């Protein structure tokens, strides 16, 4: 299959490209900068907000599937207006072009931040959080992702059966090198996030190995008939990035979860990934216990 990956040189994109190549697909990666991607893939350095340049990439790739990961990936890393403009405009143009190019499926990267956790008074309707839970973004990044999800639903309505549109909410992405001690996107190591719960509390202790998330994107590209157009799916690990149960940790850092978190015993996470399992059979194969080692000493 011919697959176009936007943002293929990024933290998640590199793994998406690698997994697609391993599965035998012909991959074109389009990104603002070059990166250490799988050598079997074609790499194009391009500004996807340039209409002519984007058209050239689509003409070259002739994609049967488009996986859209490009955009500003970290909250508060740019001015709010830039985050909103860049992320939402990229999504609309890339996903629209995917349908015009004849792709069978186009999948956009969203984020669990659409739920708006992060304030002391935050209180969900239920836990674990699933894709049907209402969203209430707290900052421009989360808002941009909520708009991307609405873009997916809008195009699903507009295009009908011409192209399947979907969005994936990857958890806090941990790239393979970060298990070995490289800093994560917030500058802490995985071990530090485990040893100091306050570091992971802001994201409700969610995470996903980049390779596992990449496998969900690959499954969606390969099985568009198993996806409901407009569907949103979580790509989040089966367990929490925490040494203590979330029934104990969540109320400590998010008092509004008191009572709601009581069922999150053992290593259960605050997010459900059951929808991805039901739709395309995805299940994460890696956890911090297997990748970092359950016996890693506390600092």
Q: What is the C-alpha separation between 138 and 132, in angstroms, rounded?
A: 18
Helix (H, G, I), strand (E, B) or coil at 280: helix
Helix %, strand %, coil % for the chain, to 5?
Answer: 40, 15, 45
Q: Is residue 160 in some structural domain?
A: yes
Q: State the pairing for strand pair 164-170/231-235.
A: parallel
Would the pTM count as exceeding 0.75? yes
The mean pLDDT of the chain is 95
Q: What pLDDT band is residue 298 in, cutting at 50, 70 and 90?
A: very low
Q: What is the DSSP letter of 104?
A: S
Q: Is residue 186 in some structural domain?
A: no
Q: Is residue 196 in some structural domain?
A: no
> Do 240 and 246 contact (CB within 8 A), yes or no?
yes
Cis peptide before 128 (omega within 30 of 0): yes
Q: What pLDDT band is residue 76 in, cutting at 50, 70 and 90?
A: confident
Q: What is the mean pLDDT of residues 69-98?
A: 95
Q: Is residue 243 in some structural domain?
A: no
Q: What is the C-alpha separation between 94 and 51, in angstroms, rounded?
A: 10
**Token pair for 294:** 């359950």
Domain region containing 165: 2-175+208-238+271-285
Q: How many C-alpha atoms does 141 have within 13 Å on its Cβ side?
A: 16
Q: Which of 19, 6, 298, 22 is nearest to 176 (CA)?
A: 19
> Do 171 and 206 contact (CB within 8 A), yes or no?
yes
Q: Is residue 136 in some structural domain?
A: yes
Q: Is residue 253 in some structural domain?
A: no
Q: Residue-wise over 249-258: b if at least 16 C-beta within 10 A, else e?
A: bbbebbebbe
CATH of the domain at 106: 3.40.50.720
Q: What is the DSSP letter of 129?
A: B
Q: Is residue 156 in some structural domain?
A: yes
Q: Which of 136, 84, 141, 139 is nearest to 115 (CA)?
A: 136
Helix (H, G, I), strand (E, B) or coil at 145: helix
23 C-beta neighbours (distance < 10 Å), count: 16
Task: Output the pLDDT for position 299.
Answer: 31
Q: How many helices (H) and strands (E) does the chain have?
A: 10, 9
> Do 140 and 283 contact (CB within 8 A), yes or no?
no
Cα 161–Cα 166–Cα 171 angle in degrees, nearest 5: 170
Q: Say whether pLDDT at 296 is over 50.
A: no
Q: Which of 279, 265, 153 is nearest to 222 (CA)?
A: 279
Domain count within the chain: 1
pLDDT tens-digit map of 132-182: 999 999 999 999 999 999 999 999 999 988 999 999 999 999 999 999 999
Burial category of 264 from C-beta neighbours within 10 Å (exposed 0-12, middle 13-18, buried 19 and up): buried
Q: Is residue 190 in some structural domain?
A: no
Q: Residue-wise over 191-206: b if at least 16 C-beta within 10 A, else e?
A: bbbbeebebbbebbbb
pLDDT tens-digit map of 198-256: 999 999 999 999 999 999 999 999 999 999 999 999 999 999 999 999 999 999 999 99
Q: What is the distance, to the nearest Å, from the Cα of residue 294 to the centroid of all Cα atoms in its chain? A: 25
């Amino acid at each position: 299959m011919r697959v176009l990956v936007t943002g293929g040189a990024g933290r998640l994109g590199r793994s998406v490209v690698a997994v697609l190549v391993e599965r035998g697909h012909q991959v074109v990666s389009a990104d603002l900068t070059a990166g250490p991607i799988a050598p079997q893939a074609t790499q194009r350095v391009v500004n996807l907000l340039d209409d002519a340049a984007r058209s050239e990439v689509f003409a070259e790739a002739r994609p049967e599937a488009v996986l859209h990961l490009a955009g500003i990936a970290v909250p508060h890393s740019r001015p709010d207006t830039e985050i909103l403009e860049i992320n939402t405009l990229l999504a609309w143009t890339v996903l629209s072009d995917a349908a015009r190019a004849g792709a069978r499926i186009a999948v956009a990267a969203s984020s669990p931040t659409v739920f708006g956790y992060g304030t002391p008074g935050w209180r969900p309707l239920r836990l674990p959080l699933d894709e049907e839970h209402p969203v209430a973004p707290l900052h421009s990044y989360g808002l941009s992702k909520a708009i991307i999800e609405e873009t997916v639903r809008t195009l699903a309505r507009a295009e009908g059966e011409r192209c399947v549109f979907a969005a994936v909410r990857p958890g806090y992405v941990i790239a393979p090198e970060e298990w070995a001690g490289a800093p994560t996107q917030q500058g802490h190591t995985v071990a530090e996030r485990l040893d100091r719960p306050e570091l992971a509390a802001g994201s409700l202790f969610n995470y996903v190995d980049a390779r596992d998330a990449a496998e969900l994107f690959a499954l969606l590209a390969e099985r568009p008939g198993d996806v409901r157009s407009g569907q949103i799916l979580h790509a989040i690990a089966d367990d929490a990035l925490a040494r203590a149960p979330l029934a104990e940790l969540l109320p400590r850092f998010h008092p509004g979860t008191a009572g709601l978190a009581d069922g999150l015993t053992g290593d259960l996470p605050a997010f459900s990934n059951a929808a991805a399992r039901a739709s395309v059979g995805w299940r994460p194969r890696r956890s911090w216990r297997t990748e970092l080692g359950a016996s890693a000493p506390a600092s």
